Amino acid sequence: MAPVAVFQAAFLLAWLPLSTYQSQAVLSEPLSLSVHVNLTEQSLKIEWSVHNLTHPELQMAFQIEISRINKSNVIWVENYTTTAQQNQTLRRMWKSELPLECATHFVRIRGKDEDPRMLQRRVWSSWSSWVKAEAQSLLGPEPLLVFPKEKQVEEGSDVTLCYVSRHPQSHVVCKLNGILVPGEQLDPHVSVVTLRSISFVSKTGSNFFCEEDRNHTQPGLAIFVTKVLEEPKGFSCETRDLKTLNCTWDPGSNIDSWKFPCQRYTLFESFSGGKKSCKDKHWCSWQVDSQETYNFTLQAENCFRKRNVTLLFQLAHRGEARAAAAMGVSVWHRAGW
Ligand SMILES: *[C@@H]1O[C@H](CO)[C@@H](O)[C@H](O)[C@H]1NC(C)=O
Ligand SMILES: *[C@@H]1O[C@H](CO)[C@@H](O)[C@H](O)[C@H]1NC(C)=O
Ligand SMILES: *[C@@H]1O[C@H](CO)[C@@H](O)[C@H](O)[C@H]1NC(C)=O
Ligand SMILES: *[C@@H]1O[C@H](CO)[C@@H](O)[C@H](O)[C@H]1NC(C)=O
Ligand SMILES: *[C@@H]1O[C@H](CO)[C@@H](O)[C@H](O)[C@H]1NC(C)=O
Ligand SMILES: *[C@@H]1O[C@H](CO)[C@@H](O)[C@H](O)[C@H]1NC(C)=O
Ligand SMILES: *[C@@H]1O[C@H](CO)[C@@H](O)[C@H](O)[C@H]1NC(C)=O
Ligand SMILES: *[C@@H]1O[C@H](CO)[C@@H](O)[C@H](O)[C@H]1NC(C)=O
Ligand SMILES: *[C@@H]1O[C@H](CO)[C@@H](O)[C@H](O)[C@H]1NC(C)=O
């Protein structure tokens, strides 16, 4: 019975340290936190690590708070559970609706162990210090600034912009395609403008600008509005020579962004696992081999969405008619996200 005894000893050794942890205070000064601003993504990259883990690896819960303008104005709380290792860098990304240039943000974090192996009462650590995330060169020499610098959105979404005025007393008006839109004051220098359910006006974008009565500068930006991606219609494939399939569809009124083109069509075939990027937005050719049954998925995508349509068919037998058209056996649609 010697092997069993050895096994039991190892088992005891593995569990002993855990039981001794139960009397310890959790996570006294646990977390080193850093925050990086990414203006391209309008996001905060939040990184931290835990130094004083009571075990090489523990399941932990973290709570992250983000404040705007001042520390007491908490605008976001996130609970995040993960397995943490000693000194491992953990990351979260937070995207801001309000351009990060418009306001200072502050981030802090706390943690507690959530490990099912630990039996002690779980208490939150103390909060880390607030870390400031500043993206503004707010009060530069310009009398008036507008953020963000550029924007691409999908039709129907809301857009948040702000203007920063050097002279708090000055009168500022903002217009979208020539129509006055009101701002809401965030602090003495910064006002927020929210454009609700923006519509597509032109391929070249919508013009947003602000004007200050004193200096008559007109900072602004073009907002590129993309139409909501439509599902391709009338997807079908045919062949004249039984060598090449020509799969065609009607892309609908999909208009690619003029400034940030990202519309693509890709053909997938599930039995062969094949894939082809389509060069045209109306058709795509596909080499026929010995395969007789085809299950195509045509994926349309733009910067915001993907949409799939599927087509299952059997090619007419090789020996048969010359101008065999592919016979659509069934067609079904799946909306994308
Ligand atoms: C880890 O915990 C011990 C005991 O609670 C403490 O003395 C030490 O300063 C802590 N170290 C760090 C890096 O937090
Ligand atoms: C910001 O994000 C973009 C897109 O993910 C990335 O390419 C770029 O390197 C990031 N910039 C910084 C400064 O991290
Ligand atoms: C913090 O900012 C919020 C929002 O602007 C404001 O309502 C609040 O009074 C400010 N608190 C302090 C202590 O400045
Ligand atoms: C996050 O955790 C806190 C504390 O446990 C809890 O009060 C809060 O409801 C949680 N929030 C969410 C969004 O789960
Ligand atoms: C973790 O980081 C702390 C503080 O930087 C350091 O004192 C400690 O030796 C590190 N521990 C491990 C296991 O790397
Ligand atoms: C803008 O107008 C104000 C008031 O008329 C003036 O003091 C200031 O010098 C002008 N120029 C700039 C760049 O702010
Ligand atoms: C496929 O069909 C489209 C539309 O009829 C046509 O414009 C295109 O030239 C065809 N492609 C090939 C390779 O035959
Ligand atoms: C065809 O492909 C789609 C998407 O990959 C899949 O969901 C479906 O089950 C396939 N149908 C058949 C009959 O293999
Ligand atoms: C569309 O089809 C492709 C290929 O089968 C697949 O990788 C992708 O996840 C599908 N997308 C959606 C939104 O169903």
Q: What is the CATH number of the domain that holds 107?
A: 2.60.40.10
Split at pLDDT 50, 70, 90, the class of 336 is: very low
Nearest CA, atom 8, ligand 4: 79
Q: What is the mean predicted confidence (pLDDT) over 137-151?
A: 80
Convert 40-86 into a string of H (helix), E (strand) and C (coil): CCCEEEEEEEECCCCCCEEEEEEEEEEEECCCCCEEEEEEEEEEEEE
Task: Give the distance from CA 43 to its chain's centroid.
Answer: 10
What is the phi/psi pair of residue 233, to 5°? -110, 155
Residue 317 pLDDT more than 60?
Answer: no
The verdict on 46 and 127 lying in the same domain is: yes
Q: Are residues 66 and 101 in the same domain?
A: yes
What value does the mean pLDDT take over residues 262-277? 95
Ligand minimally distant from the alpha carbon of residue 114: 4
74 C-alpha vs ligand 3 centroid, how far in Å? Answer: 10
* Same-domain pairing of 218 and 237: no
**Which domain covers residue 217, as residue numbers?**
139-226
The rounded mean pLDDT for the chain is: 82
Distance CA 14, CA 65 (A): 36
Average pLDDT score over residue span 117-140? 80
3-class secondary structure, 100? helix
State whether residue 11 is helix, strand or coil: helix
**Looking at the 3D structure of the chain, how many domains does it have?**
3
Q: Is residue 178 part of a domain?
A: yes
pLDDT of residue 27: 52
Name residue 20's beta-bridge partners.
none
- pLDDT above 70 (res 293): yes
40 plus 116 within the same structural domain: yes
Task: Give 236's strand partners.
Answer: 248
Domain presence at residue 8? no
Q: Could you tell me if the CB of 29 is within 6 A of ligand 1?
A: yes
Is 9 inside any structural domain? no
The pLDDT of residue 51 is: 82
157 and 104 in one domain? no
Single-letter amino acid, residue 118: M
326 band by pLDDT with thresholds 50, 70 and 90: very low
- The pLDDT value recorded for residue 14 is 40
pLDDT higher than 50, residue 87:
yes
First to last CA, the chain: 60
Which residues are 268's β-sheet partners? 275, 297
Please tell me the predicted confidence (pLDDT) of residue 162.
Answer: 94
- Give the tokens for residue 261: 């083109």
Last residue of a domain, one of 187, 209, 226: 226
The Cβ of residue 14 has, within 10 Å, a number of other Cβ atoms equal to 9
Matching residue, tokens 């979404």? 157
ω into 56 cis (within 30 of 0): no
Between 97 and 123, where is the model more confident?
Answer: 97
Give the rounded percent of residues in the chain with a pLDDT score beyond 70: 82
107/36 same-domain check = yes
Q: Tell me the two tokens of residue 203.
A: 């391929």
Which pLDDT score is estimated for 329?
35
pLDDT at 297: 96
When comparing pLDDT for 185 and 24, which is higher? 185
**201/279 Cα distance (integer angstroms):** 27
pLDDT at 289 over 80: yes
**Is residue 126 in contact with ligand 1, taking CB distance under 6 Å?**
no
Q: Which residue's CA lies nearest to atom 9 of ligand 5?
A: 51
Host H or E run for residue 18: helix 2-21
Domain contains 99: yes
How far is the centre of ligand 1, averaged over its atoms, from the C-alpha of 27 (Å)? 8
Of 50, 46, 54, 45, which is closest to residue 31 (Cα–Cα)? Answer: 50
pLDDT at residue 129 is higher than 80:
yes
pLDDT band at 11 (very low <50, low <70, confident <90, very high): very low
pLDDT for the residue numbered 318: 46
Q: What is the pLDDT of residue 10?
A: 39
Q: Are residues 129 and 39 in the same domain?
A: yes
Q: Is the pLDDT of residue 97 over 70?
A: yes
Per-residue pLDDT, averaged over 278-287, amounts to 94
169 or 50, which is more confident: 50
245/263 same-domain check = yes
Alpha helices (runs of H) in 122-187, residue ranges in sequence order:
none
- Strands 90-95 and 43-50, by their bridges, are antiparallel
* Same domain, residue pair 246 and 263: yes
267 alpha carbon, closest ligand: 9
What is the per-residue pLDDT across 165-193, written as a single tens digit (0 to 9) for each? 888 878 999 999 999 999 999 988 899 99
Distance from C-alpha of 282 to C-alpha of 28, rounded to nearest angstrom: 62
Q: How far is CA 116 from CA 60, 121, 290, 332, in A?
A: 10, 11, 55, 46
Q: Is residue 66 part of a domain?
A: yes
> Which residues have C-beta within 8 Å of that of residue 185, sequence separation ≥ 6?
191, 192
Looking at the structure, tell me whether residues 217 and 313 fall in a common domain.
no
Domain termination residue (choose one: 178, 200, 226): 226
User: Are 112 and 171 in a shared domain?
Assistant: no
Q: Are 90 and 53 contained in the same domain?
A: yes
CA–CA distance, 331 with 10 (Å, rounded to integer): 60
Other Cβ atoms within 10 Å of 99 Cβ, number: 21
**Is pLDDT of 246 > 50?**
yes
Q: Is residue 7 part of a domain?
A: no
Residue 15 domain flag: no
| Closest ligand to residue 89's CA | 5
**Which of 266, 269, 295 most suits a substitution to test ligand 8, by most atoms within 8 Å of the C-beta?**
295
Identify the domain boundary among 97, 114, 137: 137
Statement: residue 4 has pLDDT above 70: no
Residues 193-235 have pLDDT tens digits of 999 999 998 888 899 999 988 778 889 999 999 889 999 999 9
Contact status, residue 243 vs residue 324, Cβ threshold 8 Å = no
Residue 177 belongs to a domain: yes
Give the nearest ligand 5 atom to 87 CA: 1
